[in-house]
A and B are shown apart, each in its own frame.
Chain A
Amino acid sequence: MNRVFSGAGFLLAVAAIVTASLFTSSIAAAKKLNVITATTDLASLAQEVGGDKINVESMAKGYQDPHFVEAKPSFLLKLQHADLLVVVGLQLEIGWLPPLITQSGNSRIQVGANGYLDAAQFAEILEIPQGSITRAMGDVHPLGNPHYWLDPDNGRRVAKGIAAKLGEMDPEDAAYFQQRDQDFERRLAEADKKWQADMKPFQGRKVITYHNSAPNFAKHFGLNVVGFVEPRPGIPPTPSHTLDVINMMKRDHVKVIMVEPYFDRKTPDSIARESGGTVVEYLPSVGGVKEVTTYFQLFEYDIALLTKAFQANP
């Protein structure tokens, strides 16, 4: 009797799951490719090249620290039906994405499957550690600095990579993606010319950033990042390090502290006060503020902020 019950209970559960699965499988076959990206910047780039042939959505928000996104089950609902998952890679998402991929029940987007695209392979990666590393250095990224999208050249390369991938998955529209990519490249080159011109007067200016998230941006626009508010990556500011930063800023005439919107302003503000500098709350990602909804607006916003700050603090 008991045995019958226990068997029946399990069978019932399995039956319920199977029935449920039959309901869903019919929804899958829509025409547009479903693209899910880890961050808003990748979503914006995918949208540029994918146009109206794809649906694209980002998991992280632009004002969120991409290292510390929560692995919410609601993301599983998105991943479940994704044809393509685009990630920043270089272990930026290591703290939250892997379990989501495993639990998605979606074989197309598993690591190494055709629908898993690591965008880092297309980009120029800086600060790849040489030699051995340890956690005494803080939460280092052993594969290199993952904040590579803040260089428009990398944006162009990643967009091209995404376009090629989309074309491979949807060969009928390959030409469409190709053409959109070329158009994007042209507009980006034009915009970049203007951005470069705007930043030209401030070539070589020294800045401090909170986290080490702007090396690619600095390289492209000729800034010189000379220090960080964090003593080591992922380690909160300490009084002695803060004092060192203040002294260094005074000594080397560093006037600008770039802070991501998801960090506390207290320490950077006090550094600015003590050193006579200014804090610029720059955006590392599209969607960091409501008005910035595209990859172009991201640079426009940041460059406007920076040029203003440089002018005001010569």
Chain B
Amino acid sequence: MKLFILVGVVTLFTAGLACAQQGTTAPGGQDTTALEQKVRDLEDRLIALEGQVRVLKAQAGQAPAAPAAPSTEVVSPMAAPAESVVASIPVSLGGAGGSAAKALNPDISMIGDFVAFAGGNSIQPSPALEMHESELGVQAIIDPYARGDFFLTFGETGVSVEEGYITFTALPGSFVARVGKMRSAFGKVNGMHNHVLPFVDRPLVSQNLVGGEDGIDDAGLSVERIIPFPKGIFLSATGQVFRGDSGSGDQLVFQSHQKSNVSTVEHLRGYKDLTESTNLELGLSYARGHNELGTNFITNLYGIDATVRWKPLRRAIYHSFVGRSEFIWSQRQQAPFEQRAFGMYGSGEYQFHRRWFVGGRYDWSDRPRQANLTDKGGSAILTYWPSEFSQIRGQYRFTDYAGNHKTNELLLQLLFSLGAHGAHPF
């Protein structure tokens, strides 16, 4: 209602403005300056009113602006929230009900992840062509105290809630809390959706020790807080409690046998700007839960991650480099002996042109249930971005599985994003 009144007022002002302008062209003399001033004042008031109309329109729609990415890492590089489109469609005054209802819709985005494989691999077989994942993102501000984010992933055979959680943004004491199902904060890769990875697949250490593609992804709650630290160092701590089920089959990490079998994840993240264009991030992670053997069998995971980023600000859209490594230790209680496995990867991605990235990765990982077996591998990756909203990637992957099974594979991926413009990952 208020909106209509405002629109009316704006119209009147426009009319007034038109008259005033005609006025100036009339006689002459010193009146002109006064009139010009008056026109300017009217113009200012008109613009102020237009601004208010825009604000009201936005409020009538959703709580203002932009869909936040859940964690900086999580949302797609090319993805993008779409409330924009809704808001921009001129409101037709006759059918305000319809537009207004639409304006309350959350931001919706869909990301397609198509993968083609060539080459044989009997250990981890993959189909030749696969619509690997279709991820539906539904995000909105819930109320002044919280926002909600859902990421539903459709595989070729089923649907799963990859993440679905509420984030409380207005808690006292600078805490940020999350409740729902979420990718845990263990290390870096575990928290990332497929489409923001700098590779087509996930590193061997993720496959072997941290639950593969799904990773530690469970229902529970998470509390995060920035910890004050001198010298411009950013430090944040995250504590999470989950039901205790993550991974499945060979890649099972945690399994809950009774209600008290919860798993916990703790993550400490330190970050420093080394220069304006270079920064360093270090993380420590710990996860603990029960494994499939029973409530008396515990798996502990320890992780260290390090990331170096370089991006010259003046040429930020043309050149960048990200180097990253994670070291993960798994300590798994099982009969007859506890198994202690270690795995790591080191990767680098260099952007040499606005649309081109070249990268590589080295993989090394023991198997968690039989730590004397070790898989090794390496990948070379080339990525092309037609635009911010699509991406073509080729990856050559060599793997030397334990027992001297060597494989050579070529992976080709096409990512495409519809709808809302998501935040870029960091």
Contact = CB atoms under 8 A, between A and B. Distances in A.
Interface of A: 2-3, 5-6, 9-10, 13-14, 16-18, 20-21, 23-25, 27, 61, 63-65, 68-74, 76-77, 80, 89, 91, 93-107, 110-113, 116, 118, 120-125, 128-133, 135, 138-139, 141-143, 153, 157, 234-236, 261-264
B103 interface: no
Contacts of B388: 139, 234
B307 to A, nearest CB: 11
Contacts of A14: 223, 239
Contacts of A80: 174, 226
B72 A74 contact: no
B176 A102 contact: yes
Contact of B424 (A25, A61, A71): A71
Nearest to A105: B174
B313 A105 contact: no
A264 B225 CA distance: 40
Contacts of A9: 264, 266, 286, 288
Given A63-B313, A94-B421, A107-B171, A70 B66 contact: no
B421 to A, nearest CB: 5
Contacts of A64: 313-314, 316
B141 A111 contact: yes
B47 to A, nearest CB: 5
Nearest to A28: B174
B241 A10 contact: yes
Contacts of B286: 9
B65 A111 contact: yes
Contacts of A234: 387-388
Interface in B223-280: 223-228, 232, 234, 236-237, 239, 241, 260-264, 266, 269, 271-273, 276, 279
Contacts of B264: 6, 9-10, 13
Contacts of A2: 290, 295-296, 298
A67 B171 CA distance: 30
A107 B170 contact: yes
B315 A128 contact: no
A129 B90 CA distance: 9
Given A9-B264, A76-B226, A142-B85, A93 B50 contact: no
B4 interface: no
A25 B228 CA distance: 10
Nearest to A262: B314
Nearest to A135: B389
Contacts of A24: 174, 228
The bracket for how many chain B residues form the interface is: 35 or more
A76 B426 CA distance: 13
A24 B69 CA distance: 26
30 contacts: A6-B264, A10-B239, A14-B239, A17-B175, A17-B223, A17-B237, A63-B313, A65-B317, A68-B424, A71-B72, A73-B234, A73-B426, A74-B271, A77-B234, A97-B66, A98-B423, A99-B69, A99-B75, A102-B70, A102-B147, A102-B176, A110-B170, A113-B144, A118-B65, A120-B54, A123-B47, A135-B387, A143-B84, A157-B48, A235-B387
A46 B298 CA distance: 56
Interface string B166-186: 010111111110000000000
A97 B234 CA distance: 17
A262 B228 contact: no
B169 A102 contact: yes
A128 B84 CA distance: 12
B260 A3 contact: yes
B354 interface: yes
B228 to A, nearest CB: 5
A234 B78 CA distance: 13
Q: Which one of A98, A103, A236 has the greatest number of beta carbons of chain B within 10 Å?
A: A98
Q: For the complex, would chain A's binding face be called helix, strand, loop or mixed by DSSP majority?
A: loop
B55 interface: yes
B3 interface: no
Contact of A121 (B51, B260, B276, B317): B51
B193 interface: no
B354 to A, nearest CB: 5
A20 B228 contact: yes
B68 interface: yes
A13 B237 CA distance: 8
A13 B81 CA distance: 34
Nearest to B272: A74
Nearest to A69: B316
Contacts of B261: 3
Contacts of B317: 65, 68, 262-263
B65 A236 contact: no
Contacts of B400: none
Q: Which one of B66, B266, B388 has the greatest number of beta carbons of chain A within 10 Å?
A: B66
A12 B357 CA distance: 42
Given A17-B223, A76-B226, A129 B88 contact: yes
A17 B262 CA distance: 20
Contacts of B176: 102-103, 105
B288 A73 contact: no
Contact of B144 (A112, A121, A235, A262): A112
Contacts of A74: 232, 234, 271-273, 279
Nearest to A111: B64
Contacts of B110: none
Given A9-B264, A142-B88, 16 more contacts: A5-B288, A13-B264, A61-B313, A74-B232, A74-B272, A74-B279, A94-B423, A99-B423, A105-B224, A107-B170, A116-B64, A121-B55, A125-B54, A131-B90, A135-B387, A153-B44
Contacts of B269: 73
Contacts of A263: 317
A68 B316 contact: yes
